A and B are shown apart, each in its own frame.
Chain A
């Protein structure tokens, strides 16, 4: 049972010293309870408090990091099996592979292709997180140079797939970038020692959960701490099942010895890697390695990841402002709705379906839907009038007619009074927008004079 903020507060020094960055001990306790702060931030905390709180706050699935700085990739550190129970914190990391045995040109162009796997969606950058370097040459020197070059060219943390020799050489070259070491199964022990020595994360693979429990124990015995677990499935179906087993062992079973982020190599002839990848993004894959660098594969996967790793209890917001639907003119209709992403997507989609160029005003209401925002006093005659005056729509259109969501028809009079705009009440459901927009008389959007 997780500790409540009050339980935590009782253990804190209650000095309100602010050293943790929070104004009060209570606020700090709330942060710890939410898993957003650690007791380490509280210098005056007693040893007893530190012990109790770090144990209580330790996530059932420990955190493993690869890389450093801005490009650091965090795996694991999850607390629930279903996103609606709280949220998923750390998105499935995606690595795209490259081999060290091609020509320099091939190598460079592949790296460039990987670098391009970065896209802008709803105000966020979604991108491939890591480069997986496969040792195909078998030559330590070549592999180490390739590792350095790959890191140099992309800045992305590396996943180093290699036998012990080349692995050691590559670590010499790029250790400060905190790569993930992926030895061949027979080289697990030397690689584990290397990981222990250099404090690097290690990928442990073995057949199935039973095999992993042995291999992970071996790696720990060799001193490696930061581990990811690869149960080596042979099919997508096995992969989903094994990823689920691992996550359940950590979260339901609290089996510490098997509580590691999962990792899957979906390249090298793995059957139907795309299908496996999509299912593993949805179902408990922590790190996936793909051979495909085709944006037509990566964009959907990254988008799926972006979708599922949002906090379900926090509405996703889109940026407020004026959006053009098609190529609107000065006599195009002007619609308004709120900046809750789902509301925006729906209204935008339906407006586009109408094939009537228009302006869509997105009001900042902290990501609430139209009715909720109205009920919360954030979507009001006042706020809408203010937006009409300040967002610049007045320069874009020559008319002064606003289409208001039918759900908040009651605001129409107030908006007309405050803004001087005429209000047309649109449909209550966005789905009726196409018909509505097509039937609007053009006379509604004639310029205003004077």
Chain B
């Protein structure tokens, strides 16, 4: 069904080529073959030829060679490949035609500007690299509804896109009073063929900013496709020539949107009615995201307010915290199901309620993104706490269905509404998770029946998530994540974070590592392929060894994830607790950072142990770990697991609480937690051994540690 279009592209290309050839010949006759040919104010000759071919163009004769080459690209046969190549030929030819037309400068009447000089390219290009100009929109053709076209351009301008216009739309938009010119980053180029100046602008961007040299055609096409976030909106009927140019754009990987019923080519050619839908589709296809520089809400918003407490007496309204039903939930969804920046508030809002009100609350954030994963929902959801606390006059405590939010009277007096709360979440989730989030919508309800209904769904989602977390095991995944954040002071320390062994600081779990990598691909969290399992019990993996070797700069050549005795993980300095063997007791003790005493059965307190263990070196018999690692099924697998623990501080026992007992029960030792000594029972090896013998601690029967 695309064949007629392909055929039209071929016809269009042939027509452009033939027109250019005639014009070139005329010029040659008039000025001589060796007459110079160039655009004004560019270092790149005829940019399209410069970027895509190895032909140098200085004279009319040189341009003839470009046309010869272009001619070879126009082949018979209405196939996609031929149509795209014909598109490339069209661009080459159109650039020659454009240069010919600029013999005496800009050939078009105002407001059209014709060729955009390098100086402008350099100025604007900085902001394309910087990302403050998030993309490029090219609007061509003739609008059926000029007002709709004007609205589109105003939308582009609001978003901050760089805009090029060519064809009848230039006059139409001028008549509509749309602001045109460099100050508005909107360039009316001229009649339809002048669209080539948008193309040669993009090519020059690649030459200037992309580090691409002359004639590196493949690199240039890749740059245009991947780096120049441009799309073309073609309004009105598409003639052969327009289609040939569009094919050229598609050859460079750009998306073309037409308001005509064209047969679609996913990602390249889309049919959308002119207006917001076309803009959204173009931006989405090219991955253009809008950055909100300042969140337009009536209260101040930023990290400085994070610690602010809102007292009962200053509270205008509160949600949850045991006083009402409330929950918050982040769900990922396919892109077509999320409308970016859609913020829906249902039910009574803040301003209309008396001071001291308590309302139910349901917050559902839906996010979509090419790199978003269900697993990241919890990472984003935990961020809600911080974001809400960023508001001056908003306070957030706890999470999920225990969430508790207060809004101060002062904030409500300033006009703060729940819609603003939604906007805060929207803007900050976009900003903080730029690489994984493309679209965010927020829906907030304060109607009891809706909240209750939503809560049931949310609880199901939490349960599903928890179940998923339980299935996330070291055996089930193929990669772990590194954390090298601490190398600033522990030069060769590499933390390996696996689903069943969180970072030794206790702050980073496997999902955080995974999300961290997606958010900052060059950052401290990198995927570590497990590779071949060398020893499942000790936790030896050749992929882990290779990664650790490289990232410790060859100082740590082997690392076993589940062993304290043999090639244990290095320790940086941030560990929540230290494990140390007690040879006399054939077991291991655990002492947490908060424990200030020096008396423990191994003869060393936390600070002494930390001093000997830290710094990124392997210290067999000693290891810094996160507290929760004690609950893991992989805890000291090589040495017999939790049954090895003969002593831990009382504080740690209390902190680990019920889950520790559950884990003990799980390994068939329901009394283990009580058998483990603490500082009130024994602080010397002798007393410890005596205690262990008395209570029959299982460690005494395990194989000798040494």
In the complex, residue of chain A having the shortest beta-carbon distance to the beta carbon of B612: A30
A423 to B615, CA, bound (A): 36
- Once A409-B305, A410-B307, A414-B309 are accepted as A-B contacts, the answer to whether A26 and B602 lie under 8 Å apart by CB is yes
| B55 → chain A closest CB, angstroms | 51
Per-residue B-contact encoding for A313-345, CB less than 8 Å = 1, 0 else: 111000000000000000000000000000000
Closest Cβ–Cβ distance, residue B583 to chain A (whole Å): 6
CB closest residue in chain B, given A416: B309
A313 touching B307 by the CB < 8 A rule? no
CB neighbours (8 Å) of A423 from chain B are 307
Would B621 and A417 count as touching, CB distance under 8 A?
no
Are B602's CB and A24's CB within 8 A? yes
With A4-B621, A30-B604: A409-B303 Cβ-Cβ less than 8 Å: yes
A375 to B608, CA, bound (A): 20
Closest to B310 in A: A413
Smallest Cβ-Cβ distance to A414: which chain B residue: B307
Residue A391 CB within 8 A of the other chain: no
Q: Across the interface, do B603 and A413 meet the contact criterion of CB distance under 8 Å?
A: no
Whether a CB of chain B sits under 8 angstroms from the CB of A425 is: yes
Which residues of A lie under 8 Å from residue B505 when comparing CB positions? 375
**What is the interface size of chain B, counting residues whose CB is below 8 A from a CB of the partner?**
41
| B594 on the A face (CB < 8 A) | yes
Closest residue of A by beta carbon distance from B389: A410
The answer to whether B685 has its CB under 8 Å from any CB of chain A is yes
Whose C-beta in chain B lies nearest to the C-beta of A313?
Answer: B615
Which B residues, 322 to 381, have Cβ-Cβ distances below 8 Å to chain A? none
Contact indicator per residue, chain B 565-608, by CB within 8 Å of chain A (1) or not (0): 10000000110000011111000000001100001011110001
Segment of A8-16, A167-175, A228-236, A299-307 engaged in the interface with chain B: A8-16
Instruction: State whether B612 touches A406 (Cβ < 8 A).
Output: no
Q: Which residues does chain A contribute within 8 Å of B573, judged by CB atoms?
A: 313
Tell me the bound Cα distance from A19 to B578 in angstroms.
26
Residue of A nearest to B490 (CB): A313
Does B125 make an interface contact (CB < 8 A)?
no
Q: Quick one: which of A5, A22, A312 contacts B622, CB cutoff 8 A?
A: A5
Alpha-carbon distance A327/B307, docked complex (angstroms)? 31
Q: Which of A27, A315, A376, A410 contacts B604 (CB under 8 A)?
A: A27
Given contacts A16-B686, A372-B574, A6 and B621 within 8 Å (CB-CB): yes
Q: Does A271 contact B (CB under 8 A)?
A: no
Residues of B within 8 A of A34 (CB): 612
Determine which of B489, B574, B580, B584 lies in contact with A376 in the assembled complex, contact meaning CB atoms within 8 Å: B574
Contact of A26 with B581 in the complex, beta carbons under 8 Å? yes
Q: Which residues of A contact B491 (CB under 8 A)?
A: 84-85
| Contacting residue for A425 out of B304, B593, B614, B619, CB 8 A | B304
Determine whether the beta carbon of B307 is less than 8 Å from that of A27.
no
Most buried by A among B308, B490, B601, B620: B308
Let me know if A428 is at the binding interface, CB within 8 A: yes
Contact indicator B304/A406 (Cβ below 8 Å): yes
A4 cross-chain contacts in B, Cβ below 8 A: 619-621
Interface status of A420 (Cβ within 8 A of chain B):
no
A24 to B602 CA separation, bound complex (whole angstroms): 6
- A412 interface hit (Cβ, 8 Å): yes
Which among A16, A84, A375 is the interface contact of B685 at CB below 8 angstroms? A16
Given A16-B685, A372-B574, A375-B574, are A408 and B621 also a contact pair (CB < 8 Å)?
Answer: no
Question: In the assembled complex, which residues on chain A have CB atoms less than 8 Å from the CB atom of B619?
Answer: 4-5
Residues of A within 8 A of B615 (CB): 313
**Interface check B478, CB cutoff 8 A:** no
- Per-residue CB proximity of B499-516 to A under 8 Å, as 1/0? 000000101000000000
Q: How far is the CA of A16 from the CA of B619 in the complex (A)?
A: 21
Q: B706 in the interface, Cβ–Cβ < 8 Å?
A: yes
Q: How far is the CA of A411 from the CA of B306 in the complex (A)?
A: 8
CA distance A425 to B389 in the complex (A): 14
Residues of A within 8 A of B604 (CB): 23-24, 26-27, 30
Interface hits, B284-328 → A, CB 8 Å: 303-309
Given contacts A6-B621, A23-B684, A34-B612, contact A411 B602 (CB under 8 A): no
Q: Is the CB of B583 within 8 A of A14?
A: yes
> Which of B505, B581, B583, B593 neighbours the largest number of chain A CB atoms within 10 Å of its CB?
B583
In the assembled complex, A377 has its CB within 8 A of some CB on chain B: yes
What CA separation (Å) do A324 and B582 show in the bound complex?
48
Complex Cα gap A146–B588 (Å): 62
Complex: chain A residue closest to B565, CB-CB: A6
B688 nearest CB across to chain A (Å) = 11
| Contact assessment for B621 and A23 in the assembled complex, using a CB-CB cutoff below 8 Å | no
Interface string of A415-429 (1 = CB under 8 A from B): 111000001010010
Whether A412 and B686, one on each chain, are in contact in the complex, defined by CB atoms closer than 8 angstroms, is: no
A26 and B614 CA atoms in complex are apart in Å by: 17
Q: CB within 8 A of A24: which of B303, B574, B685?
A: B685
A33→B612 CA distance, assembly (Å): 9
Query: Is B603 a contact of A313 with CB atoms below 8 Å?
Result: no
B602 touches A27 (CB 8 A): yes
Q: CA of A428 to CA of B612 in the docked complex: distance in angstroms?
A: 33
Give CA–CA (A406, B611) in the complex, Å. 30
Given A16-B686, A313-B614, does the pair A408, B594 have CB atoms closer than 8 Å? Answer: no
User: Whole-angstrom distance between the alpha carbons of A377 and B594 in the complex?
Assistant: 8
Is A5's CB under 8 angstroms from B621's CB? yes
* Chain B residues with CB under 8 A of A9: 583, 621, 706
| B309/A410 in contact, CB under 8 A | no
* 8 Å CB interface, A395-413 against B: 404, 406, 408-413
Complex CA gap A236/B448 in Å reads 82
A residues 339-380 in Cβ contact with B at 8 Å: 372, 375-377
Chain B residues with Cβ under 8 A from A16's Cβ? 584, 603, 684-686
State whether A417 touches B309 (Cβ < 8 A).
Answer: yes
Q: B603 touches which one: A6, A26, A314, A372 (CB < 8 A)?
A: A26
Q: Least Cβ distance of B407 to chain A in Å?
A: 15
How near does chain B come to A315, taking the closest CB pair, in angstroms?
8
Which residues, 58 to 108 on B, are CB-close (under 8 Å) to A? none
Nearest CB of chain A from residue B613's CB, rounded to whole Å = 9
Give the complex CA separation of A413 and B490 in angstroms: 34
**Closest A residue by C-beta to B582:** A26
Across the interface, do B307 and A377 meet the contact criterion of CB distance under 8 Å? no
C-alpha gap A188/B604 in the complex (Å): 49
Q: Mark B603-644, 1 if CB is under 8 A from A, else 0.
A: 110001001101100011110000000000000000000000
| Residues in A whose Cβ lies below 8 Å from that of B601 | 24
For A5, the chain B residues whose CB sits under 8 A away are: 612, 619-622
Question: Contact: B686 with A410, CB < 8 Å?
Answer: no
Q: How far is the CA of A423 from the CA of B305 in the complex (A)?
A: 11
Q: Are B612 and A10 in contact (CB under 8 A)?
A: no
Most buried by B among A6, A376, A404: A6
CA distance A26 to B621 in the complex (A): 10
Distance between B385 CB and nearest chain A CB, rounded to angstroms:
10
The 0/1 profile, CB within 8 Å of B marked 1, for residues 19-59 of chain A is: 00011101100100110000000000000000000000000
A406–B574 alpha-carbon span in the complex (Å) = 22
Report chain A residues within 8 Å CB of B507.
Answer: 375
**Which listed residue, A22, A23, A409, touches B307 by the CB 8 Å rule?**
A409
Q: Do the beta carbons of A410 and B612 come within 8 Å of each other?
A: no
Residue A409 contacts which of B306, B582, B603 (CB distance < 8 angstroms)? B306
Nearest-neighbour CB distance to chain B for A166, whole angstroms, equals 48
Known: A26-B583, A26-B603, A377-B593. A406 touches B303 (CB 8 A): yes
Closest 7 CB pairs of A and B: A413-B309, A24-B603, A412-B307, A23-B603, A27-B603, A425-B304, A410-B307
A-B residue pairs in contact (CB < 8 Å), sample of 19: A5-B612, A5-B619, A6-B621, A9-B583, A16-B584, A16-B603, A16-B684, A24-B601, A24-B603, A24-B604, A26-B580, A26-B604, A26-B621, A30-B612, A313-B490, A372-B574, A404-B307, A409-B305, A412-B308
Sample of 9 further A-B pairs with CB below 8 A, known A30-B604, A413-B309: A5-B621, A6-B581, A9-B706, A14-B584, A24-B684, A30-B608, A406-B304, A410-B307, A413-B308
Interface residues of chain A, those whose CB is within 8 Å of chain B, are: 4-6, 9-10, 14, 16, 22-24, 26-27, 30, 33-34, 84-85, 312-315, 372, 375-377, 404, 406, 408-417, 423, 425, 428
